[in-house]
């Protein structure tokens, strides 16, 4: 009975280790997604309406009277 359990555990361990390259591909997909998000964010922040809003926000913050 103990040998059966050990054999089953060895088989399970072999099946879980067969996914060696998966983490590398997940990092690659995550890196590509982060770069795409950064590009979209850059385009949004550098657009005219957002730049105008940011400039007015900064101007109001610097002109604030205490």
Residue 1 confidence (pLDDT) above 70: yes
Q: Could you report the per-residue pLDDT of 30-58, keeping only the tens digit for each? A: 999 999 999 999 999 999 999 999 999 99
- Could you give the CA distance from residue 40 to residue 32 in angstroms, rounded to a whole number? 12
Residue 4 burial by CB count (10 A; 0-12/13-18/19+): exposed, middle or buried?
exposed
Interaxial angle between packed helices 48-62 and 22-45, expressed in degrees from 0 to 180 and rounded to the nearest 10: 70
Q: What pLDDT score does 15 carry?
A: 65
Question: Residue 44 in contact with residue 50, Cβ under 8 Å?
Answer: yes
Whole-model pTM: value is: 0.51
The residues spanned by each domain of the chain are 2-62
- Could you give the CA distance from residue 52 to residue 15 in angstroms, rounded to a whole number? 57
Q: Could you report the per-residue pLDDT of 4-35, keeping only the tens digit for each? A: 788 877 777 766 655 566 678 888 999 999 99
Q: How many CB atoms lie within 10 A of CB 32?
A: 10
């Amino acid at each position: 009975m103990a040998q059966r359990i050990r054999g089953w555990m060895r088989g399970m361990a072999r099946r879980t280790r067969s996914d060696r390259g998966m983490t590398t591909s997940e990092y690659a997909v995550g890196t590509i997604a982060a770069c795409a998000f950064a590009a979209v964010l850059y385009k949004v922040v550098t657009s005219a309406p957002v730049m105008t809003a940011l400039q007015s926000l900064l101007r109001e913050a610097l002109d604030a009277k205490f």
